[in-house]
A and B are shown apart, each in its own frame.
Chain A
Amino acid sequence: MSRPHLLVVEHDDKLRTTMINDLTELVGLSTEIVGVSTAEEGLTVAEQVIADSAVLPVAFVERTLPGMSGAELALTMHADPVLSPTRLVLVTQAASLSDVDAALSRGALQGMLTRPWSRIGLREQLRAQLATYHVEHDPDGLDVYGDLIQPDDRRRARRRIAQRRAAPGSGDDDSRHVLLEPRLGPDEVVDRLVAALDQVLGHPPRLRVGPGSVLLEQGADVGGIYLILEGEVELRRHTDAGHRTVHREGTGPIVGLLSLATQQHAFLEVRAVTEVRALPVSLGQLARAVAAESDVGPLLTRTLVNTLANRLRDADDLQVRIDVLNASLEAERDQLAGALDALGEAQAALIQQARMATLGELAAGIAHELNNPTAALARAAEHLLTDVINLLDDDETADRIERARHREAAVSADLRAARRAISEHLGDRSLAERLVGAGVTDLDEATNLARSPATIERLTIANQLGTELRNITTASARIGDLVKSLRSYLRGGEDNPIVVDIDITETVEDALRLVGHRITTATMERTYEPIPSAAVRPGQLQQLWTNLISNALDAAGPFGHLRLHIDAPDPAHVRVRIFDSGPGIDPAIRHQMFDPHFTTKHGHVSFGSGLGLSICRQIVDAHGGTIDLTSEDHDHDGTVATVVLPVDSTLQTGEATA
């Protein structure tokens, strides 16, 4: 029987010699080693060896050769039924395998040897390849290799040979054990699968690719699977909306199997995220491994189950994340809707504000325009009087007109009293009524006039004329006052400049001088403590104190008591408190007392009084201070008005001092 042959195809003489020497050292004389320098020569030698009825278990082929490449030689031999049993080990220096993909995926390459090889690496490669070859093709030839093939190797080989000879697929009890073994972790399963595949397939070559390399394209025919040994791959899907990563951490150690099992094109793209070391296994290799090694099937199944379980968990996780995301999107949408509502309200408020501002300008314009007719009215009343007096040549009538014009407005009760008195005096109610209508209240005058009814008639008209002129003057003066207070309110006191070094106590005293005529029967107590001087608008403050003191006097009543207390609660603020002995503030009106137009003093609206507290608040705000009216001070029965002003109000208004 002829010796088995080993073929070395290497263009470089030196490398070929080294390889032949290293192999000789391993196999001794048991094997014939043939070295050639091209693939074409190698093919001829291989065919010759087989033709000589010798076996050619392994060929070591350099990857880069002039002419036919190592991969092409592998494919050619793989396609030839006579040469296909020979196990082809590709010798290469490069880590990249781009031009050997076809050979790898069709199972034409059975091993890879990286140059420079180690002796141990070469020996392990040779051992595995020889064992596999002989188990599959030449069961009896395994013994010739001496020390290279150990007794263990032979035993294992014998068992595998026995399994091959038994009916394929019958399996044994161990297979169920591997599938169901609960303590077998996923990594361990992969390790064992890889070991089993190595054994059956004679240590198939590993693929090493860089990050971003595509191992399997979406839609491509799937010819095998990849076992990921190191590194990380992701499964991606191209959609109209771009690339979507479907699995990354949950990819698992095995890719391509799902498509392979369902005979479909690759559903997803397999792409390396990091540098990846993978074991490509073709469909044919897989079938062979499953048939040859009873553990492979269960291990494969288990790995697949683990992989699918991982991906399912990944998908479940994704679903939960989508739900959470949806919930938070919904919350954000609600929040947005709320914000939109608030925006609408703010806008409505702004529109209202703008409308009020327009109204304010309009009011200021009208107020200004009212000055002319009001002045005309007042002057006309004056001139009317002059003209009427000139027209008359009757001093008594003229005097009666003048008297009526300068008389205080009549009080109804006084008129009734006068009428009653005259009626009793003259004994004629109707006459008394006419006399009172003529402005007569004096009994003697009444007695004199009673004798000349014609005079009464004339004096009545004169009295009316005077009264009407007085009413015109009073009414136009009131319009003038209303216009003035309205304009002052609308302008916000811009006519009042800020003055530094003002003693606020003096502004209070000024105000007291203005309202002093009102303090007749009421009593007042003043406590002035030393206070720092301040930068304020003194004109406005005077208006403020006038309003507050007037209010307090109104509340206290004619025989009430007022107490003024001025002090400095801290060096930066001045506090003015006005206590009155009045009935306090009705809680029902508390909330509206700072509103414009609110007044409880008269039966009608008056800007002079109705805007009082509203103006007070405006002035205090402009000074950056606070105003507070309370009736809930337990030490005091009536109302306390408290105004606190900062010493330097320019800090609040940001205006330059004058």
Chain B
Amino acid sequence: MNRLAVLIIEDEAEVRDALRRDLKSLGATLRIETADDIADARAALDDINADGDLLALVLADHRLPGTSGVDFLIELNAAPATAATRKVLVTGQAGHADTIRAVNGADLNHYIAKPWDPAALVSVTRAAVSDYIIAEGINPLPFVRDLDGPRLLEAYANRAADH
């Protein structure tokens, strides 16, 4: 079975470690990947694709070396394979203008301010991946326990009714 992947893009090792650790509870259900910068993120995406997995969610830092996190999210939004991927900006200091650009250009789904609340981070991740599952018409049953159960079950019921 294909796995659903969550990609964390963060250039500071300590922050990257902390984000990964906070999402560890979802590790059994989801594939958690990290990337140090945008180039690394592309390599990680290649890996995910090579394994036949799907990129369900990107958690991108706002400021990254070279290109801005917002630019990468816009790029993902423009590519057919990743258009449906949920996009969340994790940032310590997004400018107002950049945030608007992300919402408008990258179809940004959420915005998490640093320092983040771990419970909120997990809850946003669950909701975003659940959205992806429903939107992409993936069988929700394997995710009911760890993600947004009621909504996934409702989606399953609708799916069954359609068939």
Q: Footprint of B on A, CB under 8 Å? A: 409-413, 415-416, 420, 429, 464, 467-468, 471, 474-475, 602-605
Asked whether A409 lies within 8 Å of B43 as measured between CB atoms, the reply is no
Of the listed residues A471, A475, A602, A605, the one surrounded by the most CB atoms of chain B closer than 10 A to its CB is A471
Interface positions of B from 1 to 49, Cβ below 8 Å from A: 11-14, 16-18, 21, 33-36, 40, 43-44, 47
Asked whether A412 lies within 8 Å of B35 as measured between CB atoms, the reply is yes
Asked whether A416 lies within 8 Å of B47 as measured between CB atoms, the reply is yes
Contact of A604 among B13, B35, B63 (CB under 8 A): B63
Question: With an 8 A cutoff between CB atoms, is B64 at the interface?
Answer: yes
* A415-B34 Cα distance, complex, nearest whole Å: 9
Interface positions of B from 60 to 80, Cβ below 8 Å from A: 61, 63-65
Interface string of B88-123 (1 = CB under 8 A from A): 000011000000000000000000000000000000
Residues of A within 8 A of B13 (CB): 409-410, 471, 474
* A603-B18 Cα distance, complex, nearest whole Å: 18
How many chain B residues sit at the interface, stated as a range, is 20 to 34
Asked whether B12 lies within 8 Å of A604 as measured between CB atoms, the reply is yes
Asked whether B40 lies within 8 Å of A412 as measured between CB atoms, the reply is yes
Contact flag A412-B14 (CB < 8 Å), given A464-B21, A604-B63, A605-B93: no
Residues of A within 8 A of B34 (CB): 412, 415
* A416-B11 Cα distance, complex, nearest whole Å: 16
Ordered nearest first, which 6 A-B pairs have the shortest CB separation? Answer: A409-B13, A603-B63, A471-B14, A412-B34, A603-B64, A603-B65
> Which residue of chain B is the closest to A412 with respect to CB atoms?
B34
Asked whether B44 lies within 8 Å of A416 as measured between CB atoms, the reply is yes
* A416-B16 Cα distance, complex, nearest whole Å: 14
Residues of B within 8 A of A475 (CB): 14
CB of A474 to closest CB in B, whole Å: 6
Residues of A within 8 A of B18 (CB): 471
Asked whether B63 lies within 8 Å of A412 as measured between CB atoms, the reply is no
Contact flag A467-B17 (CB < 8 Å), given A416-B47, A605-B93: yes
CB of A360 to closest CB in B, whole Å: 20
CB of A273 to closest CB in B, whole Å: 77
Residues of B within 8 A of A602 (CB): 11, 63, 65
Residues of A within 8 A of B93 (CB): 605
Asked whether B11 lies within 8 Å of A603 as measured between CB atoms, the reply is yes
Contact of A413 among B16, B36, B51 (CB under 8 A): B36
Asked whether A603 lies within 8 Å of B17 as measured between CB atoms, the reply is no
> Which residue of chain B is the closest to A604 with respect to CB atoms?
B63
Complex A-B: 24 CB contacts under 8 Å:
A410-B13, A410-B17, A411-B36, A412-B34, A412-B35, A412-B40, A412-B44, A413-B35, A413-B40, A416-B33, A416-B43, A416-B44, A416-B47, A420-B47, A464-B21, A468-B21, A471-B14, A471-B18, A474-B14, A475-B14, A602-B11, A603-B61, A603-B63, A604-B92
CB of B94 to closest CB in A, whole Å: 12
* A429-B93 Cα distance, complex, nearest whole Å: 37
CB of B34 to closest CB in A, whole Å: 4
> Which residue of chain B is the closest to A472 with respect to CB atoms?
B14
